[in-house]
Structure 1
Amino acid sequence: MEKKLTALSRRAFLGTAAIGLATPAIAQVNSTEYEAEVAPDWAPMGPVRRNASGFRAQDWQPYFSNLRNGAVLVDISSRALHFWSADESVYKLYPTSVPMTEDLTRRGRTKIVRKVVGPDWRPTPSMKKRNPEWPDYVPPGPDNPLGTHALYLSWTYYRIHGTHDTRKIGRRSSNGCIGLYNEHIAELFSLTKNGTQVLLI
């Protein structure tokens, strides 16, 4: 009888422990945003929000009529980038940084027109107006806000690029571009080509 009680107690304990361990994960998935201080090199100081909800797989059909040249969907609200290869054999989902404000955000259809490893960076005229203390030019390297790779879009000044400041990912922290972890942009860079269609929603 004592052995049976011990076995039952052990099962009950393990079941309770499993529920306890699962709770933080459930809480994290269900949480929407939290505030955190961030001081990136090329963005204003102050609290920003990191999104932890709505990060889920998507189907391409509601957004594209075909997958010719592959397709990239950037969801500004969930701060996620989805990629589908032309033959549907590859699907990727990456967390991103998105523009800080709605007036810096652009939505609609565009495409990749240029791919650069080790991009250099120049602030746009409007960036310089807002931040006159910023440098006129930053060469490739660890201080470059475009990270290790950049995908140039057909819209002037807009890019999907990496970042050396990993605190930016998952946040409204960019001046208009879409940012990824350097390892993710390197992978996306290898999967896309000039002509890959891009939709920002």
Structure 2
Amino acid sequence: MTRAFRGLDRRSFVTSAAALGAVGFSAPGLAQTPDAGRVQYDPNDDQTRNISSFRAQDWKPYFTSLRNGAILCDYTSRAVHYWSEDESIYRLYPSSIPVSAELTRKGRTEVIKKVEGPSWAPTPDMRKRNPEWPPFVPPGPDNPLGTHALYLSWQYYRIHGTHDTRKIGRKSSNGCVGLYNEHIKELFGYAKIGTQVLII
């Protein structure tokens, strides 16, 4: 199998997964039955939590409530889940994840700011690793944050879009969670200041 064909095949899969995964489910229509392999989320034990592949999830193993809505970023399945406070909306999106453990942060945080048309500047650590990068990129089609960004309470961490769709579904970020621009636009509309976020 040629490299080009493998890439096309993977891209087709990711695109199909995106189309399927981003479909919204109303709570009554989504089977939320527990399965035998699911256990409560333990932030200290990656082996005992649910590490199944990209699929619909129930929010209850991860959050005590859906106050202000909830976003789950699962690095194992490279997926972002969103539940609205009243459970009427559920979304599932493919995502990019950090390229290495050193750039990865996990735990609980929340959305503290929403920016449409974000600008981007590399962090000091990024500049050290990549001195050739520009110090600032204004909003636009070449911006690494894409069209929308949800800023988290952790400094420098975002859930954002991307100008490079090849990154989705891969270890490709410097710490943030990336989505297709059409998906971050939708999530941006659902999320609000105070939406809780769990990264696992």
TM-score range for the pair, normalised by the shorter chain length: 0.7 to 0.9
CA displacement, residues 123-181 of structure 1 (integer Å, 9 cap, x when unaligned)? 00000000000000000001100000000000000000000100000000000000000
- Are 2:188 and 1:189 aligned? yes
Structure 1 Cα separation of the partners of residues 119 and 168 of structure 2 = 20
Q: Which residue of 1 aligns with 2:56?
A: 57
Q: Which residue of 2 aligns with 1:102?
A: 101
Question: What's the secondary structure of 2:122's corresponding residue?
Answer: coil
Q: Which residue of 2 aligns with 1:37?
A: none
Structure 2 Cα separation of the partners of residues 97 and 63 of structure 1 = 21
Structure 1 Cα separation of the partners of residues 70 and 183 of structure 2 = 16
Residue 89 of structure 1 deviates from its aligned partner by 0.2
Question: What's the secondary structure of 1:72's corresponding residue?
Answer: strand
- The structure carrying a bigger strand percent of its residues is 1
Amino acid across the alignment from 1:130:
R
- Are 2:132 and 1:147 aligned? no
Aligned counterparts, 1:11-90, within 5 A: 54-90=53-89
- TM-score w.r.t. length of structure 2: 0.74
Question: What's the secondary structure of 2:139's corresponding residue?
Answer: coil
Q: Which residue of 1 aligns with 2:136?
A: 137
Question: What's the secondary structure of 2:145's corresponding residue?
Answer: coil
Unaligned runs of 5+ residues in structure 2 are: 1-8, 15-51
Residue 102 of structure 1 deviates from its aligned partner by 0.7
Identity %: 72
Question: What's the secondary structure of 1:183's corresponding residue?
Answer: helix
Structure 2 Cα separation of the partners of residues 78 and 104 of structure 1 = 18
Structure 1 Cα separation of the partners of residues 124 and 78 of structure 2 = 26
- Are 2:113 and 1:114 aligned? yes
Structure 2 Cα separation of the partners of residues 143 and 163 of structure 1 = 9
Q: Which residue of 2 aligns with 1:12?
A: none
Amino acid across the alignment from 2:134:
P
CA displacement, residues 65-107 of structure 1 (integer Å, 9 cap, x when unaligned)? 0000000000001100000000000000000000000110000
Structure 1 Cα separation of the partners of residues 137 and 189 of structure 2 = 24
Q: Which residue of 1 aligns with 2:124?
A: 125
Structure 2 Cα separation of the partners of residues 148 and 197 of structure 1 = 22
- Are 2:160 and 1:161 aligned? yes
Moved over 2 A (4+): none
